[in-house]
Structure 1
Amino acid sequence: MTGSPTKLRIGLTWHSANSDNLGVGALTLGNIAIIEEAARKANVSPHFVVIGWNDSKPSYVKGRNIEVVGLRLKDFAKPVGGLYSHLRGCDLVLDIGAGDSFTDIYGMKRFGTVLGSKLLTIAARRPLILSPQTIGPFNRSWVRRLALAAMNRSVCVASRDDLSTRFLRDIGYRNTIIEASDVALRLPYEPADRSDDGKVRIGLNVSGLLFNGGYTRGNMFGLKSSYADLIRGLLRKLNSHDAYEVHLVAHVISDGFEVEDDYRVSQKLAKEFPRTIMAPKFSSPVEAKSYISGLDFFAGARMHACIAAFSTGVPVLPMAYSRKFAGLFGSLGYQHLADCQHEDAETIMTKFEDGIARREVLRKDIEASLPCGLARLQEYENLVTGTLATIRQ
């Protein structure tokens, strides 16, 4: 295209510039990288408006074309100066639903806010794209109807796995779907140096949320075995091998919300198992992904920690607590998965040991699967390019 780039304001709802959950930050940085490339092709100069919950932590999403809007619940009802005003000021809105929050499994408050942003975008008469994310489940019929109403008024819904695509068709969504993958596959990073001292560096991400029993502190996600007992059993086995160097890698780091915090749980475990190494308290998703890239094997219950390993070629065993894991990795043909909801601790420990022993097989499977995910993201990028070009006209 010729001529000066057209300046457009692009709203990014349910993204975050400073979330405690580095996975949400990884989605933001990955999506921005994709949209910037799409904007270049469409001859657009993008100004990003990152819209998510208000947080006091320093931002790790920075740039002269980045504006951060911190939401409070009252902003949903403000006719002036609230969320509606911010959305009205955008030329295009991309809603990523924090990756997996467009569902009612996390409670009605979260669903209400994630739905509310979409309804306000529609009311503001701004084109809406649902960026690649897990869609559903919607366990209540009235929730399903409201979700469908919002999606039917969007430009396009991009799912990040085939399970979400099938779910959308099963509940009656008939408009355009792009089956993409997780945008965090495009998160930039600095490859870490790997030491050649004969040690097998094993990364283990321990989910604070699962360790504490979920928000209800009562096995909220219906895991078959005690997650805390499983983790301790794994650490006992790993620490019995002199050739293994075990790294505890936190991916949700929350000083103010203990039930979610991976770091405090990892510190507690490091005291119980003093041979383990505490990974740094990362200040950004890029730091976390760069660190993970230097490991020889990785396992964890935070999906984006596993995506960081997968997208850097590190053999990985995701430890699933919901269908989003099987949906994402299965869609790419990567079948190595521990299912904490349906498999007992002994089965998972066997899979863990087998994964370490067969890590070169896992590495080759990643080499075969990763290009599929990147190709699917290219389809999503093409959609954004075409949408921006249309708005530009």
Structure 2
Amino acid sequence: MSEKVAFLWHNPNSGNLGCSALAMSNVLLIQGAIKEGVEIHLYCDHLDKEKDGLEKLQELAKSKITYHHVSMRNIPQQIMKSPRKLIRTFSEYKYVVDISAGDSFSDIYGYKRFLNQVFYKYLAIRNSKLILAPQTIGPFSNNVVRKISDYIISKCFYSFSRDPVSTQFLKNASPHGNFFETTDVAFCLPFQKQPNGESTKIIGINISGLLARGGYNGKNQFNLKCDYLTTLKKLIVRLKNDGYTIVLVPHVISSSMGGMEDDTSYSRSLVKELSIDIAPSFKNPIEAKNFISSLHLFIGSRMHATIAALSSATPVIPLAYSMKFASLFSGLEYKHTIDLKTRNTDEIIAEILGKLENIDILKRDAESSAEIATKRLERYKAKLEQILQ
């Protein structure tokens, strides 16, 4: 008899292709781990009608997938309207697998987002066995937030981290809990390797709309040392002058939240201003990964865009705005992340140019790190097979 599993915050049709990559990859991994079969039930916010990730996932899983809408908006009103129904959201499932959109089990994006995510985690532990899928845990800047997260972690059936720093958070929160360190599940997202652009020297650059806007508050929320957009403009001009072809690669393609997260609008404005190219509008993360795999070099601030590069053995320079980058990539022995919080514009450009001169090293390290990630995800799948019997 097949097992019904709820996949919380797994959205294959997200405008954020990184979230879609996580959802698709983790569903396929867990489906492969449960030998008797699995009924896949996705719990997430709205499905973007312009994306076809759900259709693609159903094709790959060869299984029907049921979508359930859950909203992080107006939770007090939801409780008032139908408290019993809300409390029993996950009552029919033995397992609830929660991926927290990869990095939302933290207060880095604000307290409201954290509390809304945690509310559904609480509903899960009331009725089911909650499994935290591989994700970033923390950071937590507020003691109350940390205590809430510690409580949730202590009640989890199993917790998986994707980097060493997150593993330490799990150990501190629940020293005797069940936890396991692996890596980001998007490393196993299927793709078709495209012909490499070495001869034409095509460099792909991802511009994060969120960072370009100064974060959600518009006031340099992530405390970058550089002016993000100015830095990338200067970098593009320098690379063009050095004979490289530049193509911008949006990885969050969404008009939700008033376009706050969207990468496309800033990319399009720079296409006109700097006479450069832009990638097609991808309908799912597999299309994006296929495209990125063709590049000579990829530079980006959307972590899952850089994971698409690394996992396809494409040389990549991640531009980090949070601890999740360095912790994840250094855990895979990839030491080419540049921290936007500690370097100014000139330092960033100089470091990128230095790495570009030694791109064979980046290529070698990307291949090696991709192999490490593959082995870690094999261990993750083996652990799932053990605990989900």
Determine the structure 2 residue equivalent to 1:232. 233
Determine the structure 2 residue equivalent to 1:70. 69
Distance 1:195 1:23 in 2: 23
| CA displacement at 1:31 relative to structure 2 | 0.4
What amino acid maps onto 2:45 in structure 1? W
Structure 1 residues 8 and 61: alpha-carbon distance in aligned structure 2, compared to 1, 3 A threshold: same
Determine if the alignment matches structure 1 residue 116 to structure 2 residue 109: no
Distance 2:284 2:84 in 1: 33
Determine the structure 1 residue equivalent to 2:30. 35
Q: Decide which of 1, 10, 25 is 2:20's aligned counterpart.
A: 25
Contact 2:300 2:306 in 1 (8 A): yes
| CA displacement at 1:180 relative to structure 2 | 0.6
| CA displacement at 1:323 relative to structure 2 | 0.1
- CA RMSD in angstroms comes to 1.6
Determine the structure 1 residue equivalent to 2:102. 99
Determine if the alignment matches structure 1 residue 128 to structure 2 residue 120: no
3-state secondary structure, aligned to 2:283: coil
| CA displacement at 1:59 relative to structure 2 | 4.3
| CA displacement at 1:174 relative to structure 2 | 3.2
State TM-score, norm by structure 2. Answer: 0.93
Q: Decide which of 26, 51, 57 is 2:43's aligned counterpart.
A: 51
Which whole-Å deviations, capped at 9, do the CAs of 1:288-322 have from their partners, x for residues lacking one?
00100110100100000000000000000000000
Distance 1:172 1:85 in 2: 26
What percentage of aligned pairs have identical amino acids?
35
3-state secondary structure, aligned to 2:124: helix
Distance 1:377 1:322 in 2: 23
Where do residues 187-226 of structure 1 align in structure 2 (5 Å cutoff)?
187-194=189-196, 198-226=199-227
Distance 2:214 2:74 in 1: 30
Q: Decide which of 139, 142, 146 is 2:141's aligned counterpart.
A: 139
Where do residues 149-160 of structure 1 align in structure 2 (5 Å cutoff)?
149-160=151-162
Determine the structure 1 residue equivalent to 2:366. 366
Q: Decide which of 53, 61, 69 is 1:60's aligned counterpart.
A: 53
Which whole-Å deviations, capped at 9, do the CAs of 1:11-31 have from their partners, x for residues lacking one?
111111211100000001110
Which whole-Å deviations, capped at 9, do the CAs of 1:120-149 have from their partners, x for residues lacking one?
01111x111100000011222121111111
3-state secondary structure, aligned to 1:142: helix
Determine the structure 2 residue equivalent to 1:352. 352
| CA displacement at 1:273 relative to structure 2 | 0.8
Distance 2:345 2:27 in 1: 39
Which whole-Å deviations, capped at 9, do the CAs of 1:198-220 have from their partners, x for residues lacking one?
31110100000001111111111
What amino acid maps onto 2:167 in structure 1? T
What amino acid maps onto 1:14 in structure 2? W
What amino acid maps onto 1:292 in structure 2? I
Determine if the alignment matches structure 1 residue 340 to structure 2 residue 340: yes
Question: What count of residue pairs does the alignment treat as equivalent?
Answer: 376
State TM-score, norm by structure 1. Answer: 0.92
Unpaired segments of 5 or more residues in structure 2?
none
3-state secondary structure, aligned to 1:123: helix
Contact 1:17 1:68 in 2 (8 A): no
Distance 2:174 2:6 in 1: 28
Determine the structure 2 residue equivalent to 1:253. 253
Structure 1 residues 81 and 192: alpha-carbon distance in aligned structure 2, compared to 1, 3 A threshold: farther
Distance 1:116 1:360 in 2: 47
